[in-house]
Structure 1
Amino acid sequence: MNWIEYQNQEDIDYRRRFIEEFRFNFNEYKNKNIVLYGIGEKTKLILEEAKEFNFVGLMDKDTVGSVIYGLKVLSYDEVISSNVDLIIIVANMSVSELIYRRISFLKKDYGIEIKYINGTTPVDFGDEIISNDPYWLNDINKLKSEIEKHDVISFDVFDTLLMRKVLNPSDIFDLVERELYYKYNIEIPFKIKRIEAEKYCYNYIDKNYDIFQIYSVLKELLNITDNNLLNKIMQIEIELEMECCIPRSDIIDVYLYSIKKGKTVCITSDTYFNRKYLELLLRKNGILQFDKLLISCEEKKSKSGGDMFEYLKQLYKQKKILHIGDNQISDREIPQKYSISTFQVRSGYDLILSSLLKDLLINVKNSSDSILMGVSMFPLLKSPFSLNKGKGAIYINSMYDIGYSFFGPMVLNFVLWLIKMAKKERIEKLLFFSRDGYIIEKIYKKIVEFYDLDAPESIYFLTSRRASSVAAIENWEDVVFIIKNVCKCRNLKIKELINIAFGIYIEDKDEFAEKYYYEVTEKELLDYLYNYADLTFENAKKERANYLKYISSLTIKEARNIGCVNFVGKGVTQYCVSKIMKKDLCGYYFATEYDIKNIILPSQKAYGLYGELISPHLSKTSISTKYLFGEIVFTSPDGQLVKFDDNGQPVFEKNSINEFHFSIINECHEGMLAFVEEMIKLDRGLLERNFGNELIDKLYGLFTSHACFISDDIKKFFIVDDYYAPSRRGTNLFMD
């Protein structure tokens, strides 16, 4: 038997033993629904040979949604909803614990059993990973104290000195694929082949491979014959890495502190980027001064293999060395074997996994969701100590951050949907109702102008329930409509209600007018109102004429198909404005309430992206249950519109709460705009993205949940300002 025959026979024997052991370890699960975590050769072997088991899917963080070996790679949400009984981690035991940490919530929160491929059960680390996690005791001062004790300070690069704006490093490959398609009309499966090329390099070419070796393999995998095209693709990847990498604030501070203290500074990285590209990336992020740059692909040594630390130890004999990095194994356990001190800092992804944010990952179903979540979360996780103050909860002390991370994704997704829906309905003009539409219209215009879209003209349309409902009154049925659908606050005196709802001031202080609404029946109120019918109609006619003067000043007269945009609603303003204009309007809402079907006319349409016909009392989505936070944020510099004057100019309510707070609310608007600009800059195919509503709803609800710790300085600005409910005005949604 020659060597090749011998090796083949050994391989056959090993495969047989592997499958026999698999069957022995998991025999009791034959009739259970099993998911295999991993897409390597061992997974393929199991699927080919152990057909008596019921495998319902695969898991892998980089290829969610793909079909591999005939099975779909499932998202967290799909695993939860697929009645999975067991997840088997098919991976080298050196990395299996890391994988378990990533998915352990599926066991704890959803009861899905998890085992390693060797049949053992992972050790649970329980609730202490959040509130009692010793990591939360670390801070920048503790790290600086460690630096003081050492002569040489070694810094890891990715997820330590720098972080990416995306959730997973492989999201960069997805962005490259989109860039190739939308900018160069090149349609290739870049992401999956790029991952495959890197794995091939590690297994068969050089464990310390560089980017040129990766692209040499990729050339064959993608059957690219044009070297210029190959170089162009590689340059796109490098440019996107440059764009996506940003400094981690506290670690940069520590880096500068080390230099100031006269320490020897080394940059130590396992990376396929050569010196030229890595130095360029470091310079771009203000990392200009260091004594040594140790790169695995050039030194042909690695942190993960240990020989890089052995080399570092030889370079600085008799020196006390401290290595700072994020990886539990290559930045902590391995250097400690070479008597190198370590200080572990968590990556943004690991901060999510070990904190109250981890539930967000359940709703990341595809690469679009992964990119969206990464971009929305990175400002909050730039410091590895950002969750320490809240012991696993995000500390929020900025309205800008609230706008960027929690409102930005929701508004972006809505505007992308709006553009598609308006095109489908052949809308010519879009009226963005005030005050909700103030920032939404700005974001709509930004996207339309950036992509030079043939889209409906946007108009920030001044309106309100008060201004439109009174101007729409033409008969007694319209008065009844307002009582039933607009002014429902019972904690008002009758005279106050009539003034607020109809603009009629009652001078006579009769006994009924002094009663509260809750003291009378609806019929009694309407009977009393009938005494003021003529005055009500006269005032309404005047307000309608003035409103029409304003409308005539806009470019909507000739438009046949007009849409209107609002936050969450039941269609009152849409119905009333349509009645004033004598034109049907098509409504586009973040969510519509159940009553809308009884309010707008049968000839009118209304769509809700995040929910249609929802019950404000029974719905469980964040956008519906926490819409009041949105009402506060979606506002404008002006107060509530009351009516228009004889010249068609708006008359705003004076001294409204949000008017005084707008400078602070505007910071939230600036955050939303910045998020949208970031997504536009990163994603060429943004217009075609389909982001998950569940993820966006979770993000929106996050800042008011136990996962966030909001400072009192921010809480004080979330004040209710309801024109129809004076008793609720001034209510703080956080504190009252």
Structure 2
Amino acid sequence: MEEELVEKHGKIFLGFSDLRFKAELEVVSKVWSLDRSAEVNLDDIYSTLLYLKPTLKQFEQEIKEVELRTEKSVIVPNYQVLNYFNQARKLQKTVIFVSDIYLPKEHIEKILTISGYNGYDKLFVSCAVGTNKASGKLFDVVINDLKIKPEEILHIGDSEGSDIQQARLKGINAYQVPRAANLLNTSRYSSDKYQEYELKKTASESLFCGLQKNYLLNGSKREGVEQNSSYSIGYEILGPLCYGFVSWIIQHAEAKNIKHLYFIAREGWFLKKVFDEINLVAKTDIISHYFYASRRALFFPLISRPVSEFLFSFLVSKGSTKLSKYLKTLELEIDDERLRKLGFQSQDDLIDAKQNPQDRSRLEELFDSETEQLERLANEEKSNYLEYLQQVEMLSNNNIGLVDSGWFGNGQKKLQQIIEPSNPAANIFGFYLALHEQAKDKFDEKSLGYGYLYQFDNFNNDIESFLEISRMVEVFLSAPAESLKKFSKKDGVLGPVFMKKNDNPKLHPTVAQMHEGALDFVRDFVRVPTQQIPTLPNHLVANLLEKFIENPTEEEAFSIGTLPYDAKAIADDNEPMFAFPEVKLTDLLKNPLSLDKEFKNTFWRSAYYQNHKSPILKFFLRYTQKYFIIKDPSLSKVYDVVYRTYKKIKK
């Protein structure tokens, strides 16, 4: 209401929502202090409101009409109750409605009609009758009006006090249906960390909570949807995350006159889908592109000498890796005889260049010996990539918007270096779900970075919590595509070449269901009745994601925890699972370190714990792992005893 009235009449209506709430509270408190069974109506509330702010007197009738229209626009039926209503009509029962409400009776009649309640017998509205269910006296009015015995009535409602207790005190049978507000996991919508933001909810936040309550009560309104845990994660977590992020990007893009948004592969694949859904309603003139890029494709064309030092900066990974993987990634052609001269037996040699000095020295020598071949390959790739950038209009736009998940800004810096010689006037604006503190030095006045959830945050130096968030985002934003290697030409036609050959990449069914739920949320929320496209503040979405990661339900933990995961993308089924335990009690007895090792290697600690079925193993985790101890100070004394024992076993 306030948004609409301020847009139409200006600053005089700033703070109207607080004033409206205060007026209702004052008049109800005053009336109930004299008689708890008495009831107020809309006119009573507005008389008090106009007393508090007389300058609004000229708008009295208009304000009432706006409130009634707004109320009607956000009402949705409770389908469980509607089903009961239709069954009662088929059985030719007398059906009446009894409501404690300050709104006019004729307005409630309209709401019932548009909600599908047609053919009822009577309607009792507290403000029209002059008394209410909360005191029980409205039930007396109903019994006397119907002229039947109380035990012949079945009252259905969602309030424990007004609908159940008061009805039964009058001898009426009562049945309680779930209350939407009670179904909402309120812990995910409140936080000590973000408490300062919770003093006043915006219209968008209120509508968001209402939409989530409606989903929990009624489920998806779309036919043919399989509503399982994966779909619900999409609707309740991924949908708000992506919607909040993309609507925030749109605000920035319009303010900065950005006409082209480039959604970077692969996480950008689903984010572009979300943008396109929102833009169907927002109708901006921004053009969205799915943009091919990767660490490999952006770094290698910028090769510099010594090439071994350059390649080690982005290509060489921890752990043992086959030499053939590095050669294949670089498309470096070296025969076996030359490899033997450099100290290798074959391309199948396992090398650990990060930890083994001898392996590092051999690999450095190999790279440096092939400097000319590597520079030729890099220059060819750079030429092809520049042609691709020209095709997608990145070399002709002065304001370029990049969209990705995050986290360190390395890709944007490399892209800037590729673009700048051909388009020195370009300003690059990177929009990310989150930016780590270490990303600060990757940006400058011509290449800026913005984080939606976190802006240059160090996550209290808790690297594991940061990694859990980034991994979860990778799972959420999985795409049916392999990572880009480079662009090349075939028969004169430019096209992408991927790190793995996969002619038919598909989403894992669990991820596909999450995406389906998320897009349904986006479609529902972008169409809620507000003056402008609704937005979601970053603190609300950050808290939602953090609480989901910290405390998933059993269904959520199993749904995502059992996904195959290779730390880069959703993987083949033979890869380790995201957060599902393999260590059993017998394994722990044989090797006391096995549980500790597996826990430290899992990708999602809370889900790993949830997915353990053994109470003994769960107990052991809870009282030996710092992750759980620091969350519950009351465990400190028990921890001291158990942890000392555990350390002895470990030794």
For the criterion TM > 0.5, the same-fold answer is yes
Kindly indicate whether the alpha-carbon contact (under 8 Å) linking 2:281 and 2:527 is maintained by their aligned counterparts in 1. Answer: no
CA distance change for structure 1 residues 526 and 607 in 2, over 3 Å: closer, same or farther? farther
Distance in 1 of aligned mates of 2:217 and 2:488: 51
Give the superposition deviation at 1:191.
Answer: 1.5
Distance in 1 of aligned mates of 2:361 and 2:578: 34
Kindly indicate whether the alpha-carbon contact (under 8 Å) linking 1:437 and 1:566 is maintained by their aligned counterparts in 2. Answer: yes
1:89-108 alignment, distance < 5 Å = none
Which residue pairs with 1:698 in the alignment?
Answer: 543
1:527 aligns with 2:365: yes
1:1-12 alignment, distance < 5 Å = none
2:378 maps to which of 517, 537, 540: 540
2:23 maps to which of 166, 186, 197: 197
1:562 aligns with 2:407: no
Corresponding residue SS for 2:507: helix
CA distance change for structure 1 residues 652 and 280 in 2, over 3 Å: closer, same or farther? farther
Cα displacement string for residues 415-439 of structure 1 (whole angstroms, at most 9, x for unaligned residues): 3443454566665643221222223
Kindly indicate whether the alpha-carbon contact (under 8 Å) linking 2:299 and 2:314 is maintained by their aligned counterparts in 1. Answer: no
**Amino acid paired to 1:382:** L
Give the superposition deviation at 1:271.
Answer: 1.0
Kindly indicate whether the alpha-carbon contact (under 8 Å) linking 1:210 and 1:274 is maintained by their aligned counterparts in 2. Answer: yes
Corresponding residue SS for 2:65: helix
- Using structure 1 for the length normalisation, give the TM-score: 0.64
Distance in 1 of aligned mates of 2:437 and 2:28: 57
Which residue pairs with 1:208 in the alignment?
Answer: 39
Which residue pairs with 2:351 in the alignment?
Answer: 517
Distance in 2 of aligned mates of 1:534 and 1:311: 95
Cα displacement string for residues 628-683 of structure 1 (whole angstroms, at most 9, x for unaligned residues): 22213324443332322312222345566993116764554454444344444336
CA distance change for structure 1 residues 655 and 255 in 2, over 3 Å: closer, same or farther? farther
Structure 2 stretches of 5 or more lacking a match? 33-37, 220-225, 582-651
Give the superposition deviation at 1:445.
Answer: 5.2
Give the superposition deviation at 1:624.
Answer: 5.1
2:209 maps to which of 362, 374, 386: 374
Aligned residues: 545
1:129-528 alignment, distance < 5 Å = 176-182=1-7, 185=10, 187-188=12-13, 189-202=15-28, 207-223=38-54, 229-314=59-144, 315=146, 316-317=148-149, 319-352=151-184, 363=195, 364-368=198-202, 370-371=205-206, 373-375=208-210, 377-382=212-217, 397-422=228-253, 427=258, 429-444=260-275, 450-451=281-282, 457-470=287-300, 472-476=301-305, 480-500=309-329, 502-504=330-332, 508=336, 510-511=344-345, 513-518=347-352, 520-521=356-357, 522-528=360-366
2:521 maps to which of 649, 665, 675: 675
**Amino acid paired to 1:573:** G
Identity %: 23
1:619 aligns with 2:462: yes
1:119-130 alignment, distance < 5 Å = none
Corresponding residue SS for 2:290: strand
Kindly indicate whether the alpha-carbon contact (under 8 Å) linking 2:103 and 2:127 is maintained by their aligned counterparts in 1. Answer: yes
Which residue pairs with 2:476 in the alignment?
Answer: 633
Which residue pairs with 1:164 in the alignment?
Answer: none
Corresponding residue SS for 1:475: coil
Kindly indicate whether the alpha-carbon contact (under 8 Å) linking 1:619 and 1:625 is maintained by their aligned counterparts in 2. Answer: no
Distance in 2 of aligned mates of 1:485 and 1:602: 25
Give the superposition deviation at 1:297.
Answer: 1.8
Give the superposition deviation at 1:272.
Answer: 1.8
Distance in 2 of aligned mates of 1:555 and 1:258: 63
Corresponding residue SS for 1:247: coil
Cα displacement string for residues 580-639 of structure 1 (whole angstroms, at most 9, x for unaligned residues): 223673422211234434666796433323224445894379775222222133244433
Kindly indicate whether the alpha-carbon contact (under 8 Å) linking 1:402 and 1:703 is maintained by their aligned counterparts in 2. Answer: no
Kindly indicate whether the alpha-carbon contact (under 8 Å) linking 2:243 and 2:536 is maintained by their aligned counterparts in 1. Answer: no
Kindly indicate whether the alpha-carbon contact (under 8 Å) linking 1:465 and 1:573 is maintained by their aligned counterparts in 2. Answer: yes
Give the superposition deviation at 1:692.
Answer: 4.7
Kindly indicate whether the alpha-carbon contact (under 8 Å) linking 1:591 and 1:611 is maintained by their aligned counterparts in 2. Answer: yes
CA distance change for structure 1 residues 614 and 382 in 2, over 3 Å: closer, same or farther? same
Kindly indicate whether the alpha-carbon contact (under 8 Å) linking 1:722 and 1:728 is maintained by their aligned counterparts in 2. Answer: no
Corresponding residue SS for 1:569: coil
CA distance change for structure 1 residues 614 and 336 in 2, over 3 Å: closer, same or farther? same
CA distance change for structure 1 residues 720 and 637 in 2, over 3 Å: closer, same or farther? same
Give the superposition deviation at 1:294.
Answer: 1.8
1:715 aligns with 2:540: no
Give the superposition deviation at 1:378.
Answer: 1.9
Which residue pairs with 1:659 in the alignment?
Answer: 505
More helix by share: 2
Distance in 1 of aligned mates of 2:570 and 2:305: 24
Kindly indicate whether the alpha-carbon contact (under 8 Å) linking 1:575 and 1:601 is maintained by their aligned counterparts in 2. Answer: no
CA distance change for structure 1 residues 343 and 714 in 2, over 3 Å: closer, same or farther? same
Which residue pairs with 1:649 in the alignment?
Answer: 495
Corresponding residue SS for 1:431: strand
Structure 1 stretches of 5 or more lacking a match? 1-175, 385-394
Distance in 2 of aligned mates of 1:640 and 1:358: 36
**Amino acid paired to 1:526:** E
Distance in 1 of aligned mates of 2:315 and 2:85: 59
Which residue pairs with 2:580 in the alignment?
Answer: 735
Cα displacement string for residues 115-140 of structure 1 (whole angstroms, at most 9, x for unaligned residues): xxxxxxxxxxxxxxxxxxxxxxxxxx
Corresponding residue SS for 2:135: coil
Kindly indicate whether the alpha-carbon contact (under 8 Å) linking 1:487 and 1:724 is maintained by their aligned counterparts in 2. Answer: no
Distance in 2 of aligned mates of 1:426 and 1:477: 41
Distance in 1 of aligned mates of 2:569 and 2:509: 24
Cα displacement string for residues 178-213 of structure 1 (whole angstroms, at most 9, x for unaligned residues): 122235546413212322333454356793233344
Distance in 1 of aligned mates of 2:201 and 2:465: 23
CA distance change for structure 1 residues 493 and 666 in 2, over 3 Å: closer, same or farther? same
CA distance change for structure 1 residues 724 and 193 in 2, over 3 Å: closer, same or farther? closer
Give the superposition deviation at 1:303.
Answer: 0.1
Distance in 2 of aligned mates of 1:721 and 1:187: 57
